[in-house]
Amino acid sequence: MEQKKIPVILDGDPGHDDAIAWVLAKASPMLDILAVTSVCGNQTIQKTTYNAQRICALIGLETQVAMGRALPLVGDPIIAPTVHGESGLDGPALPEPAFPPHSKSAIEVMAEILERHPEPVTLVPTGPLTNVAALLLAHPELKSKIARISLMGGGVQFGNWTPAAEFNILVDPEAADVVFSSGIPIIMAGLDVTEKALIFPEDFQRIRAVGNKVSQVVADWLEFFYGFHRKMGYPGAPVHDAVAVAALVRPEILTMQEMYVAVETQGEYCRGATIGDFRGIAGKAPNAKVILDIDRQAFADLLVEAAAYYQEKEA
């Protein structure tokens, strides 16, 4: 009996780790990708949309690509050229887009999919939560059509863009607050786990040795991404965003804890912090499954297996 696929919408700001997350998603027989939507984050919305289109062309993902919001709900954009380069996806050459972006916005496309799909859809945001929050604010009636949100963002123990805040949440804390307050089931792949989701240089070589076009590009992405992290003393590249996909396709390699998570939208030092109530002090029901650990070797093996999927496609 064939396993029923999980219908998903991939929403991100690619970004090397978003790109690798989407490579993993396309390779998984468990996921049915209904759309790809871009968000302002690692780079401007024009650049992240173009990158999303090029990733789809590379991996043969024939689905609609829709441009999301150009600005956070509140405040100015924050971009990360020091991490991902001026293009947002520097490194290997990529194919040009196979088709233009959808004429409708990401919010409109997401709403139409949720309205018409026969079962609830899982959202997989790996950038700031701007699009997801805008969708919930514009279409509260569609909340029940969202099965869960498997996101990369935050960290209940530390930040990376400030001491308290992780980049995706800091870009748009108000959006994150809307999402975490929504009542929709959340799986949170934050820095607590993604800083352990390290792909080592020897893993880069394993992926490269697979020997197809996609595996070569993924290895090059990892080399570029590691260049930034190596200077900071990391032994490998933390492939943050792919953990949000792994949570759907290989949850057994992860350790999760249910807890209440609040988002700080104010504060001189803590804006964008995700506060995890480890001890239940607030007396509030858990609103997220927070991933705290990962089987690193199994994660690396999963990415190698995903690269091998594209070998069959080239044959």
What is the extent of the structural domain holding 183?
A: 6-314
Confidence of residue 274 (pLDDT cuts 50, 70, 90): very high
Which candidate, 207, 228, 229, places its Cα nearest to that of 218?
207
pLDDT digits (tens, 9 = 90+) for 170-206: 999 999 999 999 999 999 999 999 999 999 999 999 9
Residue at token pair 């999919």? 113
Beta bridge partners of 146: 121
154 touches 166 (CB < 8 A): yes
Higher pLDDT, 88 or 151: 151
SS3 content of the chain, % helix, strand, coil (to 5): 40, 20, 40
Judging by DSSP bridges, how do beta strands 64-67 and 254-259 pair with one another? unpaired
Contact between residue 297 and residue 13 where contact means Cβ atoms under 8 Å apart? no
**Neighbouring C-beta atoms of residue 279, cutoff 10 Å:** 7
Answer whether 190's CB lies under 8 Å from 155's CB. yes
Position 205 scores a pLDDT of 97
53-86 confidence digits (pLDDT tens) = 999 999 999 999 999 999 999 989 999 887 888 8
Mean pLDDT of 32-43: 96
Could you tell me if residue 172 is inside a domain?
Answer: yes
Burial class (CB in 10 A: 0-12, 13-18, 19+), 56: buried
Total domains in the chain come to: 1
Kindly state whether residue 246 falls inside one of the protein's structural domains: yes
The answer to whether residue 1 sits within a structural domain is no
Question: What is the rounded distance in angstroms from the CA atom of residue 124 to the CA atom of residue 150?
Answer: 5
Question: What is the SS3 assignment for 158?
Answer: coil
84 labelled catalytic: no
Residue 268 lies in a domain: yes
Nearby residues of 17 by Cβ (< 8 Å), 6 or more positions away: 126, 152, 225, 238, 239, 240, 241, 242
Block residue for tokens 């290989």: 250
Query: H or E stretch including 6?
Result: strand 6-12
Report which secondary-structure segment, H or E, holds 34. Answer: strand 31-38
Is position 88 within any domain?
Answer: yes
Per-residue confidence (pLDDT) for residue 75, from 0 to 100: 87
Pairing of strands 186-189, 146-152: parallel
Could you tell me if residue 64 is inside a domain? Answer: yes
User: Which of 15-19, 105-109, 227-231 has the weakest average pLDDT?
Assistant: 227-231
* Angle between helices 16-27 and 242-249 in degrees, nearest 10: 20
Q: What is the DSSP letter of 101?
A: P
Model pTM above 0.75: yes
**Residue 315 pLDDT > 60, yes or no?**
no
3-state secondary structure of 129: coil
The pLDDT confidence band at residue 118, using thresholds 50, 70 and 90, is very high
The verdict on whether omega for the bond into residue 183 sits within 30 degrees of 0, i.e. cis, is no
We report the CATH number of the domain holding residue 125 as 3.90.245.10
Strands 274-276 and 288-294, bridge-based pairing = unpaired
Query: Are 276 and 261 within 8 A, CB to CB?
Result: yes
